[in-house]
Amino acid sequence: MLAPKAFLDALSDQASRLFSNDPTQPRSELESQFKALLQSGFSKLDLVSREEFDSQMVVLARTRARLEALEAKVEALEARLNPITSE
């Protein structure tokens, strides 16, 4: 995986080559080629979609809530088993 600076430098170099090849090329064609170039660069990075990120945040929040509930139960059970040490 490239470092962000190296990735942006490589992307810039490729974009420069893309735009310098044919100045008569229509703008829409340049945009589609640049979009393909960006998608190619981003596919090499270890990225997730916003949808996947949001769904994992929900899972994490649910897991955190369950963990906190379990910790409270363990503390309550420990207090019942060791009433002398908890006072």
Number of domains the chain contains: 2
Asked if residues 25 and 17 have their Cβ atoms less than 8 Å apart, the reply is no
Tell whether 41 and 61 lie within a shared domain: no
Residue 25 domain boundaries: 1-47
Tell whether 3 and 41 lie within a shared domain: yes
Tell whether 66 and 35 lie within a shared domain: no
Residue carrying structure tokens 């002398």: 84
Q: Where is mean pLDDT largest: 9-18, 41-50, 58-67?
A: 58-67
22: confidence class by pLDDT, cuts 50, 70, 90: low
Write the CB contacts of 2 (distance below 8 Å, at least 6 apart in sequence). 10, 44, 45
Tell whether 1 and 42 lie within a shared domain: yes
Q: How many CA atoms lie within 13 A of 77 on its CB side?
A: 6
pTM above 0.85, yes or no: no
